[in-house]
Amino acid sequence: MSSFDPDTLDSKQQYKLMSSTIIPRPIALVTTIGADDVPNAAPFSLFNMVGVEPPMLMFSLTPRAGNIKDTGRNIELLPEFVVHIVDENVKEKMNICSADFAHGVSEIDFAGFRTAPSVKVRPPRLIECPAQFECRLIDIVKVGRRPNHIVIGEVVMLHYREGIVDEAKYYVDAGKLAPIGRLEGAGMYTRITDRFRMNKPDIPGVPATSG
């Protein structure tokens, strides 16, 4: 067994162990609008669903040189954003958006993304992405000593590329959504091409799990 006491590790060592173990992680490509009105896009894999009623999601911003990243600063100014799911078609463009561009430079234009206006929020949608969730900020929670900023949003509109959702059943075809996920190290990713089914447990006298 290999065991580690985080109190004996520096932040890079902690990050390497955590981010290479909690895998695969979904990727949120988040658009926001800055103070200069320039739209911004950046990917975040410390990302997940929070719950429903209303539908909510979260992603976490690690600090850059002790400061909150542009995405967080933009959301503090205009509490709206769009979360996009990333597939293979947009993976290179997503990667370009992770570069540390100067303020006022739009990663969206640089990466060559096509955009469309959102319905309920101001930041634009990246229409090549298979799913686009328009969000309004619920809260930004600061955690840890650095600190990290957890952005929690309410999903106020959901958009999907044609053919991904069975609209009568609200069934999302995972194979057609085809998200990529983040794995270990600086550049490893995965596909969801190796899925399997496991039904809810059927244990006599024990109610089936509901979630």
Ligand X SMILES: Cc1cc2nc3c(=O)[nH]c(=O)nc-3n(C[C@H](O)[C@H](O)[C@H](O)COP(=O)(O)O)c2cc1C
Name the residues that contact ligand X, by CB under 6 A. Answer: 27, 40, 42-46, 60-62, 64, 69-71, 95, 98, 100, 182
Q: Would you call the peptide bond into 204 cis, given omega within 30 degrees of 0 as the criterion?
A: no
In terms of CB distance, is 157 or 183 closer to ligand X?
183
Q: Which is nearer to ligand X, 165 or 179 (CB)?
A: 179
- The CA-CA-CA angle for residues 116, 93, 46, to 5°, reads 95
Residues 6+ apart with CB under 8 A from 13: 4
Are 29 and 131 in contact by the 8 Å Cβ rule? The answer is no
Smaller CB separation from ligand X, 35 or 119: 35
CB of 61 to ligand X, least distance (A): 4
CB of 166 to ligand X, least distance (A): 29
Residue 193 beta carbon to ligand X: minimum distance, rounded to whole angstroms? 19
Q: 106: how many CB neighbours lie within 10 A of its CB? A: 18
CA Rg value for the chain: 18
CB of 82 to ligand X, least distance (A): 14
Nearer to ligand X, 92 or 173 (CB): 92
What are the two backbone dihedrals, phi and then psi, of residue 90, each rounded to the nearest 5 degrees? -115, 10
